Amino acid sequence: MIRKLLVANRGEIAIRIARSCREMGIESVLAASQEDLSGMAARYFDDVVSLGEGDSRETYLNVGRVIDAARASDADAIHPGYGFLSERSELAAACEKAGIAFVGPGPDVIELMGSKSASRQLMTRLGVPVVPGYDGEDQGLERMVTEAAQIGFPLLVKASAGGGGKGMRVVREAEGLADALDAARREAGKSFGNDRLLMERYIERPRHIEFQIFGDVQGSTVHLFERDCSIQRRHQKVVEETPAPHFSPELRQRMSEAALAAARGVHYTNAGTVEFILAPEGEFYFLEMNTRLQVEHPITECVTGTDLVRAQLRVAEGRPLPWRQEEIVQRGHAVECRIYAEDADNDFLPQSGTITSYREPSGPGIRVDAGVTRGSEITIRYDPMLAKLVAYADSREAAIDRLVRGLREYVALGLTTNISFLRRVVDHEAFREGLVHTGFIAEHIESLRKKRPDEVASIAAVLAGVVGREARLPRASAFQPSVWDSLAGWSQ
């Protein structure tokens, strides 16, 4: 039994895990950088412990400090959340050595699936389709050029380690290959400490489909259906939904069997995701396995009626999965938007500043997982995601309508966010028709650009400042007006 859980993370995912702990009667400890100890997430934990000062390399990515924090707080388990150390085998191995339960798969599985080259080779042996490509040991330019000619152009150069689009380049002609390899190798080495590359055939206009899988130490493995994560910018997901649109039962069956084969092939335990590229012609190919909880897990929880974090903790205790495959069914449709502090109309440039006015949408079928509130300081030190907005309804059309309504009601002022951009994406005719692919935003960028005059944003910013000053004055009433009240119903 897990008695006390240490969460080595920050923001909305830390809060999400703490909520499940509270429901389960598990004591929770937040291990955070010194500057985050007074942040919003700390309010949800029974205790907090400092990882020290400095950037993420010195705090959230420092395995020794995380283990020391667990020992200092007498925690008997560690949940890494996502990002940071969640897919670093070093933390899972250190937990084993220290006798601390790690909420995730074993270090061998994390290391194996963290290598795109090794995982591709394994999937080939398991009979899981992979994109034609090259992932050999010989990384010399001459060999890479020869292999590229065999693969054909366009092709994709990408880092063997890591993810998030770093160390990735699309090469459309042989003349650009050498420069792309050099640039990808430098970026991969800087980001992941590993400059090994692989090359794959570039699939035009693909969809990004992933299957949520779960395994236990008793050997049972299940899937909790698919998520379509095709709406992306810079290879980063922006909008996710389940069930996937225009997705036949036959295709779902074939892809779920491939996902389970991948999971069983590595004796996977706990929560994970098998990701695929789906070509327009209907062929699908293994992309990677994420050995952690995904950002977009709430939409799976909505349509399956599950608590994936609760299940993670039970499996980490050595218990069997709480469901059999035949008991897991999809009901309704869920769509998630990631709320970022970024200027979508200025090349998605990350933003920093103080949130001066904040109000989340609510009502039937609306869920918000947030790590910020009014007064939160947003820096460019970490990922710019502020929150996740999820809409759930009986049908895809109703879920999208509900999501558009939620985005209209969402208020986050003081810095630029992508809220209005997201509304334009999910209300776009092509999105509503389910005509999604990973190049959707680039293809429709002109129609997705902001149409409102800049003066409107300026007026809203001024009014936000007025509201902020009024809020600091003594009041007879506890009512705090929103900037939108002053704007008489105008929505951003």
Residue 457 sits at φ, ψ, to 5 deg, of -65, -35
Q: In what order do the strands lie in the sheet with 284-290?
A: 284-290, 270-278, 207-215, 221-233, 236-242, 333-340, 385-393, 366-370
Please tell me the distance from the alpha carbon of residue 488 to that of residue 486, in angstroms, as a whole number.
5
Q: 59-82 burial, b if ≥16 CB within 10 A, otherwise e?
A: bbbbbebbbbbbeebebbbbbbbb
Q: How many residues are given for the chain?
A: 492
Residue 428: which of 455, 459, 454, 407 has the closest Cα? 407
Please tell me the distance from the alpha carbon of residue 424 to that of residue 6, in angstroms, as a whole number.
39
Tokens of 128: 């899981």
Residue 81: which of 354, 343, 385, 303 has the closest Cα? 385
Please tell me the distance from the alpha carbon of residue 485 to that of residue 357, in angstroms, as a whole number.
12
Q: What contacts 59, CB < 8 A, 6 or more positions away?
A: 32, 33, 34, 51, 52, 53, 65
- E strand map for 179-293: 197-201, 207-215, 221-233, 236-242, 270-278, 284-290
Please tell me the distance from the alpha carbon of residue 487 to that of residue 484, in angstroms, as a whole number.
5
Q: What contacts 297, CB < 8 A, 6 or more positions away?
A: 212, 271, 308
Please tell me the distance from the alpha carbon of residue 364 to that of residue 182, in angstroms, as a whole number.
51
Question: 264 an active-site residue?
Answer: no
Provide the 10 A C-beta neighbour count for residue 477: 5
Residue 473 has, within 13 A of its CA and on its CB side, a CA count of: 8
Please tell me the distance from the alpha carbon of residue 308 to that of residue 428, in angstroms, as a whole number.
31
Residue 210 sits at φ, ψ, to 5 deg, of -125, 150
Please tell me the distance from the alpha carbon of residue 462 to that of residue 469, in angstroms, as a whole number.
11
Please tell me the distance from the alpha carbon of residue 369 to that of residue 338, in angstroms, as a whole number.
10
Question: Which residue in the list 16, 233, 292, 424 is annotated as catalytic?
Answer: 292
Which residues are annotated as catalytic?
A: 292
